[in-house]
Each structure stands twice: as C-alpha cells, then as structure tokens.
Amino acid sequence: MAVLLIGRLYQIQVHKSDYYAAKAESQYVHTKTDLYSRGSILFTTRDGTRLSAAAIQSGYVLAANPTHFTVSPEEFCDSLKDYIDVSVDKCVDRVSAEGRTYIELASRINADQSKEIQELDIDGALLYKNQWRYYPGGSLAARSVGFVGYADDGTELRGKYGLERYYDDVLFQKRQVMSVNFFAELFSNLGELVYKKEESRTGNIVTTLEPSVSRMLDSILQEANDKFNSKLTGAIVMNPNNGEIIAMNAVPGFDLNDRSGATIDQFQNPLVENVYEFGSTIKALTMAAGLDSGAITPQTTYYDAGSIELNGFTIKNYDGRGRGTVPMQEILNQSLNTGVSFVVQKMGKDKFRDYFLNFKLGSETGIDLPNEAYGLVNNLHAAGDVQYATASFGQGIAMTPVETIRALATLGNGGKLVTPHLVKEIQYDDGTVKEILYPEGAQVLKESTSEEISRMLARVVDDALRGGSVALPNHTIGAKTGTAQISDPENGGYYEDKYLHSFFGYFPAFEPEFIVFMYTVEPQGVGYASETLTDPFMDITRFLINYYSIPPDR
C-alpha cells in the first residue's frame, strides 16, 4: 500500500503536476488566509507619546469572477477603471481568459473605495478583506524607517531597507495559509502533532525618532537642496550624551507608500552607507587632539605664511593668504589649513594618528541600521607628512556622516564616545518589554579638553560665523563649517568645480542637549558651507530650543 501511495503521489505531484496546477487555477476563487500582519515601528514624541511610523492598514482586495458578468468585459473594466491597478485594456485581457473564476484587479482598496464599488453594484466584482504595510508619515524619515518587499523566493514579505530590515526578525510575523481541504489540513499540520515548534518572539519596536523634529528636518533639507540644486542633502540630529538619534534623513526622498519612480539610491541611507571627505569640520577634532595631548594651548601662536611645503606638495589656506602670527583660536575662526597642519607637526604623526583612531574614525559605530560602511583612513598609516596634514583638515580621509557625528559629539559631551542608535525598546507580543541598553563608550578626551574646545567653538559662532550675526543672545552654540573638494575617482586628484559642504554644531555649548551634523553634495552657484548651511542649521537650532524649551545659558 505504501508503494502504491508513493507511486500515485509521484504521478500526481511530478508527472502530471502542470495538468493539476492548471485545473486548480481555473477553479480558484479566493484562498482563505490569515490577514497579513507585522510588528509596528513607533515614533516617540517629545512627551513620550508613541505614534506609528509603520503599521498595518486594513482594506480589501478587488477581484473579478467573469462567470457572473452581466455586461461585457469592456464595460466591466471601464466601470472600475478608477480602482484597478492595471489599465483598462490589460483588465479586459485578464477577465476574458477562458475558464477563470478569480482575477485579482487591485490589492489595496480602502474602506471608502469599497463603499463606492459596492454602490456601483457590478455583477462579478468581488471584495475580500485584506491588510498591508502602511506608513502614516509617507516620506517622513523614509531612509531610516525603510520598507518591506518580497523575499528572494517571492513567498514572504520581509524588511528590505532601514529599520524594517535591521529588526526584521522582531517585526516579521509568518503568514499562515488556511486550507479548506480536510486532507491538506491534516497533512500540513501533521508535523505539529509530532514536533514541538518554538515560536519566535515578535513585536513592535519603539524608536528615538521624534516625528515633529523629523518633519521639520525633512522640510529644511528639501528647501536647502532645492535652493542650491544639490545632488543630495542630509542631516542627523542626535543627543550627544547618549547617542539617541532624534531625526535623520537625506533628500531627495520618496514616499514609503508609493515608491514608483524612486531609485535604489533613494532607498539607501547615505548617512550610514556612504563615505565622504568632509573638509574643515574635521579641524575641530584636530584642535581638540592638540589641546588634549598638551602639544598646544589656546594661547599658542604660529606664523602663517599662507602655505607650507610638505613632501613636494604645497598646502594652502582656502584663499592662499598668510595672516602672520596668529593664535589657535584664529585657526578655527578663519579655517586655516596651515594652522591645523602646524598642530599635527607639534603633536607628531603617531600621536595625531592615535587620537583620530581613538575617535573611531574608520570604524563602524554599531548603529542599528543595515549596511553600515567603514570610513577610509588609510592615509593615517602613510609614511609621508603631507597625508597627515591633509587629514587634519578633512581631506584624504573619508567617513560616514554617522561616524563623523559620533566623533564630533565627544567635543561637547565631556569626551565620551557614544553609540548612535534609533531604537530604545522592543514591545514583544507576549506583553514583555525589552529596553535596549548601549555600552558606555571610551573616554577619548579629558573633560577639561571638552570644555576648552567648546569654548573655542562657541567663539567661532559668536565672533566669526557670518561676523557673529547669527549668534543667539541667550544660548551658546559651538559650531564649525567645512568646504571640501570632491575626489575624482577616474582621473585621480580632485575636481576643480565640485564641492561638498558640511556643518556641525551643538548647543548649549557647555552642556549640549543636541548635536546637528549637516552636509550637501555639489551645491550650485555658491562657494562655501557658511553660505549654504548656516541658515538651515540655525533654523533647526531655533526650532529645537523652542520645541524642547531649552533654558538660556547666558
């Protein structure tokens, strides 16, 4: 009997599988399934309220049964043209296929649309309950939230980008197909009678992303990107004391609910996955390293001739001019390349390299987003002096934005490395809650150094940034701009007409609650980051001060 059964199963499932599959397809009406489900991604508002960033929306599938038509296929499809996912011509072709009793025409019909379809009272139009992934914010923090898509085998919806992918094992809930056939039901569940299956722990993730701050950031980024016709503009708003990311995105963006027309580049998160040479924002790290090592003090001076010769290369200030004898503060105020090169010479190459590697430049941060890239800092291991000099002002080394903001946060938070992150707890379906704890980072600068460099960066804003005109009367801000040449990967060297602008700042300068890092790629018709990113940064700063009621510190 066993041999006969096995032989018959082989005949049905292998030898004549195409025949029976076609026969089943022609009789197919609508498989009864558990509705699609997946854990939620939640924003956290300023007051701790949880709002949905990714949830499940309920609606209907619109299908057709041609055997019930009382009108022609053309009339049927034309009546439903406002609701179907395909063209009228394609609809007609599909519903005209002989022997078909179920043709799906739209998978996401909302409640209002379903009422309208019912009111049309079209024979052969069928509505079945359905659920799908929905993003209430649309494009809000899209590159960080990510989205779902079919896995490679095409059977299950899995996280493809952003938090959806990184936490897919928590969010994913397996969709079960409930067969109405008794024998199929029996055999499909036979394993459960013999084996005990371990259920994976699934649930919701609670993020540190604040929706109002994220919306403000997206708006300001888009305005800046449009104004200067940049290729890309991105920013991170982070708590420098614990690494919580409050907002993070890059534009041009895309709508998570309608991704048609978007490119793979837009789906990826350049703040984590791409590396850049950021230029003079890195001078703040060089100055802090010099202060911390004891190689210089704020009162140290050097003679600025406008350029220096190293290993046969000439390093110049941005304008080529010399300033004579200048103190360390002016290196930051006037962004002098010769000045930070002097700091490296005073420190020595080995000590300078050790500080930059202690800032974890060239390393992953451990952020909870997929595909984090390593920074490129091979020049910190070079033999020549010129590589160290260029690294001191942010050229010749390339980092991710998230790697860079982590290093810059040490300047204001007392010298500690933090772990940037977007999720703070997991709410499991069984009712338990897991708080995600991140390790306390290494102490890479003395607290006194953090205070000293913060004092210097505050003077940059008060005295030098646009002549001090953007300084706030009641709040101190420590900040630095950067304008970097973009490397030419084909011909070597750098483009003469392509630049990347960056800007970082934290506030209040001596007990910062926020640090902001911004950058824009290839802005048009403008020379320096002080012209492109100062206003957007100050808009973000004023919003955060007011929204969080940050008390004055002066």
298 and 446, same structural domain? Answer: yes
Residues 407 and 529 occupy one common structural domain: yes
Q: How far is CA 283 from CA 51, 60, 199, 212, 234, in A?
A: 39, 57, 52, 32, 21
The whole domain housing 336 covers 211-252+272-547
The domain boundary, picked from 207, 223, 240, lies at 207
- The reply to whether 286 and 430 lie within a common domain is yes
**Whole-number pLDDT of residue 34:** 61
Give domain status of residue 310, yes or no.
Answer: yes
Residues of 275-295 as b/e, b for ≥16 C-beta within 10 angstroms? bbbbbbbbbbbbbbbbbbbeb
pLDDT of residue 22: 55
- Pick the closest to residue 171 from 424, 428, 369 (CA basis): 428
Question: In a structure prediction context, what are the per-residue pLDDT tens digits for the chain, which is 554 residues long?
Answer: 989 888 888 887 777 776 666 555 444 455 555 678 899 999 999 999 999 999 999 999 999 999 899 999 999 999 999 999 889 999 999 999 888 888 999 988 999 999 999 999 999 999 999 889 999 999 999 999 999 988 777 678 899 999 999 999 999 986 544 434 444 444 555 544 444 444 558 999 999 999 999 999 999 999 999 999 999 999 999 999 999 999 999 999 999 999 988 999 999 999 999 999 999 999 999 999 999 999 999 999 999 999 999 988 899 999 999 999 999 999 999 999 999 999 999 999 999 999 999 999 999 999 999 999 999 999 999 988 999 999 999 999 999 999 999 999 999 999 999 999 999 999 999 899 999 999 888 999 999 999 999 999 999 999 999 999 999 999 999 999 999 999 988 888 889 889 999 999 999 999 999 999 999 999 999 989 999 999 999 999 999 999 999 999 99
Does 394 lie in the same domain as 281? Answer: yes
Same-domain pairing of 287 and 198:
no
pLDDT of residue 265: 92
The answer to whether residues 345 and 471 belong to one domain is yes
Both 75 and 223 in one domain: the answer is no
Are 310 and 391 in contact, with CB atoms under 8 Å apart? no
Which residue, of 182, 207, 232, is where some domain finishes? Answer: 207
CATH classification of the domain holding 140: 3.30.70.2110
Q: How far apart are CA 183 and CA 367, in angstroms?
A: 48
Q: What's phi and psi for 104, nearest 5 deg? A: -80, 130
Distance CA 29, CA 500 (A): 57
**Most distant pair of Cα atoms in the chain: their distance:** 101
Total domain count, the chain: 2
Q: What pLDDT score was predicted for residue 299?
A: 95
Helix (H) or strand (E) holding 280: none
Are residue 56 and residue 160 in the same domain, yes or no? yes
Model pTM score: 0.86
Q: Output the pLDDT for position 181.
A: 44
Q: Which residue type sits at 550?
A: I
Residue 17 lies inside a defined structural domain of this protein: no
Do residues 155 and 244 share a domain?
A: no
